[in-house]
A and B are shown apart, each in its own frame.
Chain A
Amino acid sequence: MKIKILYLTGLIVFIFGCSKDTTVPIPSPGSSFIKETDVLQKESKLLMEGVYSVTSGSEKFGEYIILKWNHSGLLLTCNNGLHFIMQAGHLDSVVFVQGYWRDGYSDATGLCNMYISKSEGGTTIVTRNGAQKIIIRGAYGKNNGLPDQVLTLEYLRPFSDHVKNSNYYILSHRCGGRNSDRLPVSENSIAMVRFTEQLGTTGIECDPRISSDGVVFIYHDPDINTRLTQKGPLAGDVSAYTWKQLSTFVTLIHGEKIPTLEELLTFAIDSTELRFVYMDMKSAEAVPTVIPIQQRALQHAAEKGRDIMIVLGIPTTDVLNALKAYPDYQHVPSLCELTVDDARAVNAKVWAPRWTLGTQNDLVQEMHNDGRLAVCWTIDSPNWIQNYIENGHFDGLLTNFPYVEAYYHYIQE
C-alpha cells in the first residue's frame, strides 16, 4: 500500500511539478510617487554618486553600498548580488528614491522607499552647494509588501580618481542578461539592451547569426527552443529559416521579436549610453555580411558623436579565417578570443581570453603595450570578480551579474 501511495504522490508531483515561470515579478508599489517629483540635474546626480556605508540593514546588504546613476535611473549595488533598481526625484529640498531590490543569485525581491531630508544632504544635492554629507533613510520590504525593514545609508566618499579616470567596461552577456536569471525581459532583445543599463552595464555582448536569406539577427542557440522563445510552430535549426519566417513566427520568451543586428546597433547608439558592443560571432559565414553592418553603425555613431566601440568577436579559428579572407581585414575592429598572436595577426582592438586561464597580467600588459585592450569572459562568481578586479589589469570583464562587477569596480580606492 505504501508503494502505491508513494507512486501516486510521485506521479502527481511529476505532472504538476514543472513551472513555466520565467521571471521574478517586479514588485509594484501600485502608484509611483516619483512621477510627482522634479527631475534632478546632472550635477545633483553626480553629487549623490559614491560609496555609502550601511548603518542600518548591513546584516542583509553588507557593510557598503555603491550608488551610481545610469541612463534610466540609479543603481545601488552590494557585494553579494543584492542590488536596487531605483528612480529618484526631488520636491523642494527633499530627495525621494523609490524602486525595488533584487537578489541576482536567487528570486528574492521587494519594494524599497527612501529619502534624503533637507538637513541630511537634500539641500546640498538640490542646490548643488554645500558640504557633501548625505544620509539616505528608508525601508525595504519583501515582494509587494510594504517596506518595513529599516535601511540607512551614509555617504562615505566619492569614487576614487582611479575609478573616475579609468576606461573600464562592465560587459554584460547576451545583450545584458540571461533568461536563466529570470529577468523581466528576454536575452538578446532590444528590451534587454534598454534594461541592462539599470544593472550597471556599460557594454554588451550579443550573438549574431545569419538567416537563410542573408539577414543577420541576434539569437544565442543554434535551434528554436522554448528556453529562448514562446512555443510556436517553427522548430529546428534557426539559421535554416528566412528572416521573414523568423520575424513572423518566432517570439522571444517575454514577447519581444528577434532583433536584427542593424536594429540592435542603431538602438545601442541612439538610445543608450553603452560604450561597447561585442558581437560574438556564432557563424563564420556571417562575417562578410556583418562587417558592412558594423562599418555603417560605426559611421552612424561617429555622426552622432557617440564614443562606442563595436567589435567583431572572433571565438573560433573558423571565424578568424573568415575575417582573414575579408579585404583589408586588419582595419576591421575586432575582438579576438584566441591567442595573443592571433589577436596581433588580425590587428584586433581587443584581446579576450577565457577567465579560467587566469589574470595573465604579463600578456595583458603586452596587449596594452601594443595599444590593444584586454577583457575577460565570462566571470560570474562574486569572489572571482573581486579577485580579477583587484589583482588583474583587464579593461573589462564580461559577466552575467553586472551589478556585482559594478560594486567591485566602483569601490576601488
Chain B
Amino acid sequence: MGRKKIIVTLVLTCLTLAVFSQQKDSVKVHLNHYTLTIGAGWTHYIDNLENGDKDIQKNFAGVSFKFYWEPEYRLSLGLESGYYQLFKVKGQLTDNTTVEVSRTVLPLLLLARMRIVDNVYLGAGLGLAILTNKSSGNNMKIVTKTTSLSNFELSGAYVYPLSKHWLVGGEVKMFHFGSLADWMYSVQATCAIKL
C-alpha cells in the first residue's frame, strides 16, 4: 500500500502541474536543437521482495544519460539510458557459506518531456531494460540476464541555464521494470549541453 501511495502522490502531483499550469511562457528558447544530459545521484529500490530480503541494501549511486531533440517550445523527444543498482542481499546457504545476490539495470527508454513552467519539466518514458542478476559466493559467480519489455519512467526536472549552451539542474524520477516487477526512484543532479 505504501508503494501505491507514493506512486499516486507522484502521479497526481505531476498531473496537477500539467493540467493546471499557466499557458504564459516567458522563456525564449532557441528552436530545433539537441541536448545531451548527464545525471548522477542517489537511487532507492522500493523493496517488494516477498522473501530473501533480510539484510537488503536498497540505496546506491546511479548515473543516467539522455539525448533530447527539442523541436519547439514545449515538447521534447529523447532517448535515455543509464546504470542503476537495485539491491544487494546476503543469504546463508550453509552454516559457513553465504551467498550475495545483486541486481542491476540498464534501461533504454524513449522519452517525451514537456516544459510546464519556466525551467520546470515533466517527462515520461517507455522502453526496454536489461536486468542483470549476479549471484556470488561458494567460489562461484552466476550471472543471469532478463530482458524486460514493459518498463516506464516518470520524471520531474528543474533545469537552470548557465549560459547559451550549458545547463544544470536536478531531477526526480521513478522507474518500473515490468518483467521482474521492480520499482525504484532516483534523485539526480544533472548537467546538460545544448548542441
Contact = CB atoms under 8 A, between A and B. Distances in A.
Asked if A and B bind, the verdict is yes
Contacts of B8: 12, 15
Interface string A315-339: 0000000000000000000000000
A232 B48 CA distance: 9
A28 interface: no
Contact of B144 (A8, A12, A240, A249): A240
Contacts of A283: none
Contacts of A237: 144
B51 A249 contact: yes
Contacts of A245: 93, 99, 135, 142
B93 A235 contact: no
A251 interface: yes
B49 interface: yes
B195 interface: no
A228 to B, nearest CB: 13
Given A15-B4, A15-B8, A248-B99, A236 B93 contact: no
Given A242-B138, A244-B138, A249-B91, A236 B52 contact: no
The binding surface of chain A is classed by DSSP as mixed
A231 B11 contact: no
Which of B91, B143, B144 is the most central at the interface, judged by chain A CB atoms within 10 Å of its CB?
Answer: B144
B51 A235 contact: no
A84 B19 CA distance: 54
B49 A232 contact: yes
Contact of A233 (B49, B93, B142, B143): B49
B89 interface: yes
B53 interface: yes
B101 interface: yes
B146 A235 contact: yes
A289 interface: no
Interface residues of B, number: 35
Interface string B118-153: 000000000000010101001010111110000000
B31 interface: no
B4 A235 contact: no
B39 to A, nearest CB: 26
A15 B144 CA distance: 30
B145 A234 contact: no
A158 B130 CA distance: 60
A237 B142 CA distance: 10
Given A8-B15, A235-B103, A240 B51 contact: no
Contact of A235 (B11, B53, B138, B144): B144
A269 B93 CA distance: 30
Contacts of B19: 4
B94 interface: yes
Given A4-B19, A232-B49, A236-B133, A223 B146 contact: yes
A23 interface: no
Given A4-B19, A226-B181, A240-B142, A231 B50 contact: yes
Contacts of A225: 179-180
A249 B87 CA distance: 15
B92 interface: yes
Which of A241, A249, A251 is the most central at the interface, judged by chain B CB atoms within 10 Å of its CB?
Answer: A249
A231 B49 contact: yes
Interface in B1-33: 4, 7-8, 11, 15, 19
Nearest to B7: A15
Contacts of B93: 244-245, 248
Contacts of A251: 50-51
Contacts of B145: 236
A241 B52 CA distance: 15
A233 B89 CA distance: 7
A233 B181 contact: no
Interface string B51-92: 111000000000000000000000000000000000101011
A248 B91 contact: yes
Given A4-B19, A231-B50, A236-B146, 12 more contacts: A231-B49, A231-B181, A233-B53, A234-B133, A242-B138, A244-B97, A248-B91, A249-B52, A249-B91, A249-B101, A251-B50, A251-B51
24 contacts: A4-B19, A7-B15, A11-B15, A16-B4, A231-B180, A231-B181, A232-B52, A233-B89, A235-B146, A236-B133, A236-B145, A237-B144, A241-B135, A241-B144, A242-B142, A244-B94, A244-B99, A244-B138, A245-B93, A248-B52, A248-B91, A249-B52, A249-B91, A251-B50
By Cβ-Cβ distance, the 3 closest A-B pairs, closest first, are: A236-B144, A230-B50, A233-B101
Interface of A: 4, 7-8, 11-12, 15-16, 212, 223, 225-226, 230-237, 240-242, 244-245, 248-249, 251
